[in-house]
Structure 1
Amino acid sequence: MSWIFLILAGLFEVIGVIGMNLITRNKNIRSFVVFVFGLGLSFTFLSLAMQTLAMGTAYAIWTGIGTVGSGVVGILLYGESKATIRIVFMAMVLVAAVGLKIIS
Protein backbone atom coordinates (compact mmCIF):
# COMPACT_ATOMS: atom_id res chain seq x y z
CA MET A 1 0.00 0.00 0.00
CA SER A 2 2.89 2.35 0.72
CA TRP A 3 3.99 2.26 -2.95
CA ILE A 4 0.49 3.33 -4.00
CA PHE A 5 0.66 6.16 -1.46
CA LEU A 6 4.02 7.17 -2.90
CA ILE A 7 2.72 7.22 -6.47
CA LEU A 8 -0.29 9.28 -5.38
CA ALA A 9 2.06 11.66 -3.56
CA GLY A 10 4.03 12.16 -6.76
CA LEU A 11 0.92 12.72 -8.84
CA PHE A 12 -0.46 15.26 -6.39
CA GLU A 13 2.92 17.01 -6.42
CA VAL A 14 2.42 17.51 -10.16
CA ILE A 15 -1.01 19.03 -9.45
CA GLY A 16 0.64 21.35 -6.92
CA VAL A 17 3.19 22.42 -9.53
CA ILE A 18 0.38 23.06 -12.02
CA GLY A 19 -1.21 25.25 -9.34
CA MET A 20 2.09 27.09 -8.90
CA ASN A 21 2.16 27.73 -12.63
CA LEU A 22 -1.44 28.95 -12.53
CA ILE A 23 -0.54 31.37 -9.75
CA THR A 24 2.24 32.90 -11.85
CA ARG A 25 -0.19 33.35 -14.75
CA ASN A 26 -3.18 34.76 -12.84
CA LYS A 27 -3.37 35.24 -9.12
CA ASN A 28 -6.89 34.12 -8.30
CA ILE A 29 -8.42 31.93 -5.63
CA ARG A 30 -8.75 28.94 -7.99
CA SER A 31 -5.01 28.92 -8.63
CA PHE A 32 -4.23 28.99 -4.92
CA VAL A 33 -6.75 26.22 -4.21
CA VAL A 34 -5.16 23.96 -6.86
CA PHE A 35 -1.71 24.69 -5.40
CA VAL A 36 -2.64 24.07 -1.76
CA PHE A 37 -4.84 21.05 -2.60
CA GLY A 38 -2.11 19.42 -4.70
CA LEU A 39 0.78 19.93 -2.33
CA GLY A 40 -1.31 19.27 0.77
CA LEU A 41 -2.37 15.85 -0.50
CA SER A 42 1.12 15.23 -1.84
CA PHE A 43 2.71 15.70 1.58
CA THR A 44 -0.06 13.69 3.24
CA PHE A 45 0.48 10.69 0.97
CA LEU A 46 4.27 11.06 1.21
CA SER A 47 4.09 10.89 4.99
CA LEU A 48 1.89 7.78 4.80
CA ALA A 49 4.33 6.12 2.40
CA MET A 50 7.30 6.94 4.62
CA GLN A 51 5.78 4.98 7.50
CA THR A 52 7.06 1.79 5.87
CA LEU A 53 9.44 2.90 3.11
CA ALA A 54 12.97 4.16 3.66
CA MET A 55 13.10 7.95 3.71
CA GLY A 56 15.76 8.23 1.00
CA THR A 57 13.94 5.89 -1.36
CA ALA A 58 10.56 7.50 -0.79
CA TYR A 59 11.89 11.03 -1.25
CA ALA A 60 13.87 10.16 -4.38
CA ILE A 61 10.91 8.49 -6.06
CA TRP A 62 8.51 11.25 -4.98
CA THR A 63 10.72 13.95 -6.46
CA GLY A 64 11.32 11.82 -9.56
CA ILE A 65 7.60 11.44 -10.22
CA GLY A 66 7.15 15.16 -9.65
CA THR A 67 10.05 16.10 -11.90
CA VAL A 68 9.09 13.87 -14.81
CA GLY A 69 5.37 14.54 -14.38
CA SER A 70 5.90 18.29 -14.37
CA GLY A 71 8.12 18.00 -17.43
CA VAL A 72 5.48 16.01 -19.30
CA VAL A 73 2.75 18.46 -18.29
CA GLY A 74 4.96 21.33 -19.46
CA ILE A 75 5.42 19.67 -22.84
CA LEU A 76 1.76 18.69 -23.30
CA LEU A 77 -0.02 21.74 -21.87
CA TYR A 78 2.40 24.64 -21.97
CA GLY A 79 4.35 24.14 -25.18
CA GLU A 80 7.72 23.56 -23.53
CA SER A 81 10.63 22.06 -25.45
CA LYS A 82 10.33 18.48 -26.71
CA ALA A 83 14.08 18.22 -27.28
CA THR A 84 15.30 14.66 -27.45
CA ILE A 85 17.97 15.23 -24.81
CA ARG A 86 15.34 16.55 -22.40
CA ILE A 87 13.23 13.42 -22.88
CA VAL A 88 16.33 11.22 -22.47
CA PHE A 89 17.13 12.83 -19.13
CA MET A 90 13.52 12.45 -17.95
CA ALA A 91 13.74 8.77 -18.91
CA MET A 92 16.93 8.49 -16.86
CA VAL A 93 15.06 9.81 -13.82
CA LEU A 94 12.38 7.15 -14.35
CA VAL A 95 15.00 4.41 -14.72
CA ALA A 96 16.61 5.52 -11.47
CA ALA A 97 13.24 5.45 -9.68
CA VAL A 98 12.51 1.95 -10.97
CA GLY A 99 16.00 0.88 -9.89
CA LEU A 100 15.31 2.13 -6.36
CA LYS A 101 12.04 0.19 -6.32
CA ILE A 102 13.80 -2.98 -7.47
CA ILE A 103 16.47 -2.84 -4.76
CA SER A 104 14.10 -1.77 -1.96
Structure 2
Amino acid sequence: MAWILLFIAGLLEVAWAIGMKYTEGFTKLWPSVWTITTMTLSAVFLGLALRYLPVGTGYAVWVGIGAVGTAILGIYLFGESREPARLFCLGLIVAGVIGLKIVTPDP
Protein backbone atom coordinates (compact mmCIF):
# COMPACT_ATOMS: atom_id res chain seq x y z
CA MET A 1 0.00 0.00 0.00
CA ALA A 2 2.87 2.43 0.77
CA TRP A 3 4.21 2.07 -2.77
CA ILE A 4 0.77 2.85 -4.21
CA LEU A 5 0.54 5.97 -2.05
CA LEU A 6 4.01 6.96 -3.20
CA PHE A 7 3.09 6.41 -6.86
CA ILE A 8 -0.01 8.60 -6.44
CA ALA A 9 2.14 11.26 -4.76
CA GLY A 10 4.52 11.14 -7.74
CA LEU A 11 1.69 11.51 -10.25
CA LEU A 12 0.36 14.46 -8.29
CA GLU A 13 3.83 15.98 -8.40
CA VAL A 14 3.71 15.75 -12.19
CA ALA A 15 0.26 17.38 -12.12
CA TRP A 16 1.44 20.36 -10.09
CA ALA A 17 4.64 20.82 -12.06
CA ILE A 18 2.74 20.91 -15.35
CA GLY A 19 0.02 23.03 -13.74
CA MET A 20 2.64 25.56 -12.69
CA LYS A 21 3.48 26.17 -16.34
CA TYR A 22 -0.14 27.15 -16.95
CA THR A 23 -0.35 29.54 -13.97
CA GLU A 24 1.83 32.08 -15.77
CA GLY A 25 3.52 33.06 -12.52
CA PHE A 26 0.38 32.43 -10.48
CA THR A 27 -1.49 35.14 -12.38
CA LYS A 28 -4.20 32.74 -13.67
CA LEU A 29 -6.74 31.77 -11.00
CA TRP A 30 -7.86 28.24 -11.95
CA PRO A 31 -4.47 26.90 -12.99
CA SER A 32 -3.13 28.34 -9.71
CA VAL A 33 -5.88 26.66 -7.69
CA TRP A 34 -5.14 23.36 -9.49
CA THR A 35 -1.41 23.70 -8.84
CA ILE A 36 -1.73 24.53 -5.15
CA THR A 37 -4.28 21.75 -4.63
CA THR A 38 -2.14 19.10 -6.34
CA MET A 39 0.96 20.33 -4.47
CA THR A 40 -0.83 19.86 -1.19
CA LEU A 41 -2.22 16.44 -2.11
CA SER A 42 1.18 15.30 -3.37
CA ALA A 43 2.79 16.24 -0.05
CA VAL A 44 0.00 14.50 1.89
CA PHE A 45 0.37 11.26 -0.07
CA LEU A 46 4.16 11.42 0.25
CA GLY A 47 3.80 11.88 3.99
CA LEU A 48 1.48 8.89 4.22
CA ALA A 49 3.89 6.71 2.23
CA LEU A 50 6.81 7.78 4.42
CA ARG A 51 5.05 6.34 7.44
CA TYR A 52 6.13 2.95 6.07
CA LEU A 53 9.05 3.57 3.69
CA PRO A 54 12.54 4.88 4.42
CA VAL A 55 12.62 8.64 3.88
CA GLY A 56 15.57 8.51 1.47
CA THR A 57 13.92 5.90 -0.72
CA GLY A 58 10.50 7.51 -0.61
CA TYR A 59 11.73 10.97 -1.41
CA ALA A 60 14.03 9.79 -4.21
CA VAL A 61 11.26 7.75 -5.85
CA TRP A 62 8.78 10.66 -5.49
CA VAL A 63 11.24 13.06 -7.12
CA GLY A 64 12.09 10.52 -9.83
CA ILE A 65 8.46 9.94 -10.78
CA GLY A 66 7.89 13.68 -10.82
CA ALA A 67 10.99 14.48 -12.85
CA VAL A 68 10.49 11.81 -15.49
CA GLY A 69 6.73 12.35 -15.76
CA THR A 70 7.13 16.11 -16.04
CA ALA A 71 9.89 15.79 -18.63
CA ILE A 72 7.82 13.39 -20.75
CA LEU A 73 4.76 15.63 -20.61
CA GLY A 74 7.00 18.62 -21.40
CA ILE A 75 8.06 16.84 -24.57
CA TYR A 76 4.48 16.15 -25.65
CA LEU A 77 2.71 19.28 -24.41
CA PHE A 78 5.35 21.95 -24.93
CA GLY A 79 7.59 20.55 -27.67
CA GLU A 80 10.64 20.27 -25.43
CA SER A 81 13.78 18.51 -26.64
CA ARG A 82 13.68 14.81 -27.56
CA GLU A 83 17.42 14.49 -27.94
CA PRO A 84 18.65 10.93 -27.42
CA ALA A 85 21.05 12.06 -24.66
CA ARG A 86 18.14 13.62 -22.76
CA LEU A 87 16.01 10.50 -23.14
CA PHE A 88 18.96 8.37 -22.01
CA CYS A 89 19.33 10.47 -18.87
CA LEU A 90 15.61 10.10 -18.14
CA GLY A 91 16.10 6.35 -18.55
CA LEU A 92 18.83 6.49 -15.91
CA ILE A 93 16.38 8.11 -13.50
CA VAL A 94 13.84 5.36 -14.23
CA ALA A 95 16.52 2.73 -13.63
CA GLY A 96 17.35 4.36 -10.30
CA VAL A 97 13.71 4.38 -9.23
CA ILE A 98 13.32 0.71 -10.18
CA GLY A 99 16.54 -0.11 -8.37
CA LEU A 100 15.33 1.59 -5.19
CA LYS A 101 12.07 -0.34 -5.38
CA ILE A 102 13.94 -3.63 -5.77
CA VAL A 103 16.35 -3.08 -2.88
CA THR A 104 13.81 -1.62 -0.43
CA PRO A 105 12.01 -4.23 1.65
CA ASP A 106 8.23 -4.08 1.49
CA PRO A 107 6.70 -2.62 4.63
TM-score by length of 2: 0.93
Name the aligned partner's letter for residue 24 of structure 1: E
For the structure 1 residues 25 and 76, does the alpha-carbon distance in structure 2 shift closer, same or farther, using more than 3 Å as the test? farther
Q: Secondary structure at the match of 1:82?
A: coil
> What is the correspondence of 1:1-104 to structure 2 with a 5 Å cutoff?
1-24=1-24, 27-104=27-104
Gaps of 5+ in 1: none
Summarize deviations over 1:61-91 as a string: whole Å, max 9, x none. 0000000001001001011001011110001
> Hey, what's the Cα distance between the residues in 2 that align with 1:23 and 1:45?
23
Q: Which has the higher helix share?
A: 1
Identity %: 39
Unaligned residue ranges in structure 2 (runs of 5+): none
Deviates more, 1:78-87 or 1:22-31: 22-31
SS at structure 2 position matched to 1:70: helix
Instruction: Provide the C-alpha distance between the structure 1 equivalents of 2:73 and 2:37, rounded to a whole number of angstroms.
Output: 18
Q: What is the Cα deviation at residue 27 of structure 1?
A: 2.0
1:10-58 deviations in whole A, cap 9, x for unaligned? 0000111011111127721111111112111100100000000000000
Please identify runs of 4+ aligned residues in structure 1 that moved more than 4 A. none
TM-score by length of 1: 0.96
- The size of the alignment, in residue pairs, is 104
